[in-house]
A and B are shown apart, each in its own frame.
Chain A
């Protein structure tokens, strides 16, 4: 009974440890895309994975980095061990302690430290920075494995080799290295595994266009989990599992076996297997790449864009038609992008920031003028949008508008029985508890300032105070200040009125046809995201080719259909087949709407602080 309980407990522990991985592995062979329903065994997620160029690229990068960093770390670490073994015990203990700390240190700290170091030294993040970082964090694992072997080794062995006529170099390679080889191999395999495994440090030190499997998965997962991921993750797990197995059960059996033939065969075989597995994978990947890379290649272009802000097919088309290789990276906020570009952490050729951020980048002298001779497709961009863009790019020299939209009111026709054409309705106590506001400072003040008839970029303290008082007084009737929940709440009829972006309105209407969108008569904000070229761009021609390509009507249309934000491309709009959308007042409002809207300007640090100061007053006010 007792032993049954013990076994059952052990079984639970193992189950607990391996259940998640088991589910993943099963899912990778499941024909159904939906987790939890088994539709039969399939290998096609694996096939999809091997056919996915992005993933194969990431796999190749991962293996190259792992192989290089493990090799370099093994050489450096082993040499360090030779020196350490000769030190006095007290000194050695201190050094061993120092080399151990990085292993225990929080990875995020190491990662940030690396990024700061590289940026501080003015080194652009690239393949090399990832490699340097990987070598660094692998060295402690090599020391951990090699040092005990060096210490175990009879120090007289090296001398015996010299004594028998070997030169110091011969003695090192013929005696010392083979004697500590098990440690060296363990150190190498462990480094290799750690490098494959790493996400955080890679994420913070990678240059533009460099993606390892882990950073690639991270990026992809934000867009939704594809079953290829299960296949990939399963392969990763199995590889790491095999390698670790070999590390732990490799050379140990050696000393107990009596005869050379058997021992040596065992010993050699295990490592031969490990090494040949690595070699086969790598050769396979490169071979595959060679077969695959049949396109004409004329250069690289590094693109930095918002997440989910392009139709992936557009990238492929661009590569096919121009021969440029696109290295496509995404950011989540303008501020994140600004830091990377300003600190020159990574270098991009073409970036897509928002209006006020473009202004800020111009003030920081980060952008270069676009040569519009290379962008004949600019003629397809509506003049009114270029006019609006002058709010942040006064002479239209630096930016080509990509997407745009307005801030307005979304209301539910079934709950609001009056005509909505003014911000005033958001202050009507009739709708107590049914109003949703945007939880961002500029959008909140956009509502109040527009309603009061002031500029949404005002720096006049009296006007800001007045707007603040208005927002404070409105707060009791507001259901909530929200960001993403606005969609769900409006679709589910959980609120009657909400401040939203026009781009979301089309989607929301499709889900709930009682919803309407309007830009109030007092005016509002119009936002424009546009392509700009940073000063330190490496391939301006490629950047301009990219911008020109995106301005081509058929391409702009593809993007519009994929991302649903309004396009400033008039010719693309003309190509839209669905009449409802083509004539949608939401997607393509009258010029009158646009002309009564203002873009957000960059307010400078002091301006930002001023808004933030009043915003905290609103945030602290009683809501009920």
Chain B
């Protein structure tokens, strides 16, 4: 992965009294597929719009390729955006849409025509030159929006929840399509989404955000397997988050039972949060489990069964390829490697502030 291409330094932004971003620091490397992930209102879109130049931060700097572009208008930035609702120009044909940026820059006609052909081929829509934008399906419009952006050869492509309006199947296809495009073009993608699956599938780096703060930055594997706080754990995939106490290194107690784990350095008798992924919970015969409980719900999910097990006053979410009918007494076991220990936040605020490296 290359050098820092975009560097956001101490960015703050508020609308009226509502603070959207507070002292945000983030860098994006050249050639990276970086995803800003978080629930609505977390500041991810604002961050993208600040990079695109559509919003000015109240405080902080945006550095692009070593240059401060904080006050540069969008039309002077070497990056292009794919908008959530495509924002195709409905009064123009597809070809005219794609040519828009090139015509503004007064490129020769032959060059523009080549570019249109190339871009349409790239997004698998050859022959659509003379169609009108609103005669295309959502997925096709999305591809045109991408084509319109990339013909300008931006160093960075900003994508604002581009798959949000598509149906599930199409969304999955487009995920692969985007990965392929990114690899073919070799440029940086900054992708905004609230869909953790999209983020996990496509990204090199995921930035989890909440309430204007970065919660965790890392590869999809790291974010998924080692969430740094309860918010990330909860937001990325499903989790059992259980309050407990770290008795000593490698031993944690929760739900009135002691479990072996691999974490160290939390001190003795410290209150912590314990995170266990549903697929990491093993259901066994009652006598073989560390704690015992009863299956209360059962759903077939295709790849696996999803069950809820009531044990020691906590409702466990469990995913397993093996089915345990409702009412069955079961025992629960967890591999020490699959127990993730997190510091308990001391206040509500800290839950949001999270960990900054």
Contact = CB atoms under 8 A, between A and B. Distances in A.
A binds B: yes
Interface of A: 154, 156-157, 159-168, 170-171, 174-175, 178-179, 181, 255, 257-261, 263
Q: What 5 pairs across the A-B complex have the smallest Cβ distances?
A: A164-B101, A156-B87, A160-B87, A156-B83, A178-B91
B87 A170 contact: no
Contact of A157 (B84, B89, B131): B89
B80 A164 contact: yes
Contacts of B75: 162-167, 171
Interface in B54-74: 54, 73-74
B212 interface: no
Nearest to A171: B75
A165 B152 contact: yes
Given A157-B89, A179-B89, A179-B90, A162 B131 contact: no
A170 B134 CA distance: 23
A181 to B, nearest CB: 7
Contacts of B83: 154, 156, 159-160
**Residue of A160, A166, A179 with highest tally of chain B CB at under 10 A:** A160
Contacts of B92: 178
A159 B54 contact: yes
Contacts of B347: none
Contacts of B91: 178-179, 181
Interface string B121-140: 00000000011101100000
Contacts of B117: none
Given A163-B80, A175-B89, A259-B130, 4 more contacts: A156-B85, A162-B53, A171-B75, A178-B92
B93 interface: yes
Taking residues whose C-beta sits less than 8 angstroms from the other chain, chain B's interface range is: 20 to 34
A261 B130 CA distance: 8
Nearest to B77: A163
Contacts of B132: 257-260, 263
B110 interface: no
Interface of B: 52-54, 73-75, 80-81, 83-93, 100-101, 104-105, 130-132, 134-135, 148-149, 152
Contact of A258 (B73, B81, B104, B131): B131
A257 B90 CA distance: 12
B279 to A, nearest CB: 39
B148 A164 contact: yes
B87 A159 contact: yes
A165 B105 contact: yes
Given A164-B152, A165-B152, A259 B84 contact: no
B17 to A, nearest CB: 15
Contacts of B74: 159, 162-163
A161 B100 contact: yes
A260 B105 contact: no
Given A164-B152, A181-B91, A260 B131 contact: yes
A179 B149 CA distance: 20
A258 B135 contact: yes
A260 B130 contact: yes
Contacts of B88: 157
Contacts of B84: 156
Contacts of A166: 75, 100, 104
A166 B152 CA distance: 12
Contacts of A174: 100, 104
Contacts of B86: 154
A154 B87 contact: yes
A167 B131 CA distance: 27
Contact of A163 (B52, B85, B130): B52
